[in-house]
Amino acid sequence: MDSSPPGESPANAPDETTPEATPIAVSGAEISPNAWLHSRTCEAIDGARRISYASADQACSVLQRGDRMTSEVLFSAAHAQALDAWWGLIADQIDFNEAVPDHALRRIRSWARRYLTAEPAATEPGTLFDHALAHVSRAAARHFLQTSGRLLVEHANRRERTAREQESQTTAKRQQAPDPTPSPGSGDANAQDSHRTERT
């Protein structure tokens, strides 16, 4: 093991406190907000799974080669596994409970917040390694909340923009359409003309 204190993340470990931890491409403005959120949620699920597999493979390779196991490798594997577990819950909500991504994200985010704030204390003291793993698990939960929160914020912004565009288009159509309401006095003039015709 390296000299990093248990529970501290290595310098090059994923930073769950910065928006750049999981880049999200803001593209596809032509698709609906719900379709955009579904696509980005699926990308986040697949990305978390790939990172988890890669981190686990790296840890196994270190053990198989008999190399020195470092806290960086352990942190990456544990963090990726815990993060993949949160996104896996999102996938279960969508696949088995038929929840739309917006509802699935909000539901699992409430679980993650409850995990961070209401997790019962351990009944036994535990070792420094246990505390380190608990720290990694909490870091993954915060990372999940940050990334999923950014998805929901962008989704809300897209819905707002779409609503404004639709309102503008509706207003423009109304302004271009001819007014079917007759102008004041036109009906009286037509009636007077018809009376004159009958008298003649």
pLDDT-derived band at 173, boundaries 50, 70, 90: confident
pLDDT band at 176 (very low <50, low <70, confident <90, very high): confident
Q: Tell me how many degrees the CA angle 7-12-18 measures, rounded to the nearest 5.
A: 85
Least confident stretch, 33-37, 65-69, 156-160, 163-167: 163-167
Q: What is the predicted pLDDT for the residue at 9?
A: 40
Residue in the block written with tokens 């980005």: 40
**Where are the chain's structural domains?**
31-120+128-177
Can you tell me the distance from the alpha carbon of 150 to that of 146, in angstroms, rounded to the nearest whole number? 6
189, exposed or middle or buried, with CB in 10 Å at 0-12, 13-18, 19+? exposed
Sign of CA dihedral 189, 194, 196, 197: positive
What pLDDT, in 10s, does the model give residues 25-60? Answer: 444 447 899 999 999 999 999 999 999 999 999 999
Q: Which two tokens stand for residue 47?
A: 């990305």
Structure tokens at 161: 């923009």
**Predicted TM-score (pTM) of this structure:** 0.71
Lowest mean pLDDT among 86-100, 150-164, 168-182: 168-182
The CA-atom distances, in angstroms, between 54 and each of 50, 59, 142, 160, 174 are 6, 9, 21, 38, 56
Mean pLDDT in residue range 10-32: 47
